[in-house]
Structure 1
Amino acid sequence: MKRLLPAPWFSLALWLLWLLLNLSLSAGNLLLGAALAILAPLLMAPLRPLPVRISKPWVIVRLMTRVGLDVIVSNLQVAWGVLNLGRKPPRSMFVKVPLDLRNANGLAALSTITTVIPGTVWSELALDRSILLLHVFDLDDEAQFIKHFKATYERPLMEIFE
């Protein structure tokens, strides 16, 4: 059964979504939706990420809280920086952050976090996953930024995924 339906919940969701989008329960839509629900997960199976084994779930709660607060603070800082462009231009720069995190799921979470927080943009990951290139909107101290980034985001993700 697992070979026919590698992701049964995903298949069910696809089938229901197909029926909802078509607003019809005709036999053709039921069959076409079922075919899509069976074939799509089979064709996408090689693209599925590695299974995740989370070791410290409370770290997730702490990290999510921290990211939420950082999003708010960062939004205010970027807005203030944009409003004061004429008086004090931002010191934008690319920062190379050395990484200890190697887990693919952890790196995906880290990329999501850096994309969500205003003022930072994930730019490039070295092929060996050892260095992350970030663009930072306004930066005072590169060494302090790297230390903060690693302690605030990378270390909790390592606790969760490794």
Structure 2
Amino acid sequence: MSFFKRILPHPWLSLSLLVGWQLLMNAVSAGSLIMGAFLALVIPLMTNVFWPNPPSNCRVDRLLLFVCRVFADIVLANLQVAKLILGPRRELRPAFVEYPLSLQHEFSISVLASTISLTPGTVSADISEDRKTLLIHGLDVGDEEAMIEHIRRRYEQPIKEVFECSRP
């Protein structure tokens, strides 16, 4: 392992921590830059044990598009859930759906499960022992196949494009 990789195991995480810290401080000063740089170095080093097999390559342009898509879906899902909850209760059709995974890398599966859980109205509940099926709970599931296709098209396919490790 190179010296750079030992000191900065996750450069994108470090950069986002530094930028996030500066945004929280709402000002750029020597003290805030030093503290931000310290956090940007220490936090990835401390959490490196939780990244046993991180993806080797990431297409940042695709990642930004994916993040924008997820944010838009979160806003839309919030509105849909509010409409369902404020409306008559008899319209809710909660269900568990078994989602067949085509992703194989653990990191990519974690990103998909987290994305599903971030979207209001759906939660990733469990993953099978063989890592081939994700159990998802939906607040309003009219058609299981439509839900599976929606997740595959909106989230799983873009994750494959973002992380090379996800491709077969």
TM-score greater than 0.5 by the shorter chain: yes
Kept in 2, the 8 Å contact 1:6–1:45? The answer is: no
How far is 1:105 from its partner? 1.4
Any idea what the Cα deviations from partners look like across 1:18-41, whole Å, max 9, x if unmatched?
xxxxxxxxxxxxxxxxxxx6xxx5
Which of structures 1 and 2 has the bigger CA Rg? 1
Aligned length: 135
Aligned to 2:66: 63
Of 58, 78, 88, the residue aligned with 1:85 is 88
Any idea what the Cα deviations from partners look like across 1:77-134, whole Å, max 9, x if unmatched?
1011000134x33000000010000111111211221111000001001111100100
Kept in 1, the 8 Å contact 2:9–2:48? The answer is: no
Instruction: Write the distance in 2 (CA, Å) between the matches of 1:103 and 1:155.
Output: 14
1:12-161 alignment runs, 5 A limit: 41=45, 46-86=49-89, 88-161=90-163
User: What secondary structure does 1:61 align onto?
Assistant: helix
Instruction: Write the distance in 2 (CA, Å) between the matches of 1:48 and 1:117.
Output: 24
How far is 1:58 from its partner? 2.0
User: What secondary structure does 2:91 align onto?
Assistant: coil
How far is 1:7 from its partner? 4.2
Instruction: Write the distance in 2 (CA, Å) between the matches of 1:53 and 1:141.
Output: 36
Instruction: Using structure 1 for the length normalisation, give the TM-score.
Output: 0.70
Instruction: Using structure 2 for the length normalisation, give the TM-score.
Output: 0.68
Alpha carbon RMSD of aligned pairs, Å?
Answer: 3.0
Change (3 A) 1:45 1:70: closer
Aligned to 2:25: none
How far is 1:45 from its partner? 5.2
Q: Structure 1: which 5+ runs fail to align?
A: 14-36
What percentage of residue pairs aligned between the two structures are identical?
A: 29
Q: Structure 2: which 5+ runs fail to align?
A: 11-16, 18-41
Instruction: Write the distance in 2 (CA, Å) between the matches of 1:106 and 1:152.
Output: 14
- Counterpart of 1:71, as a letter, is I
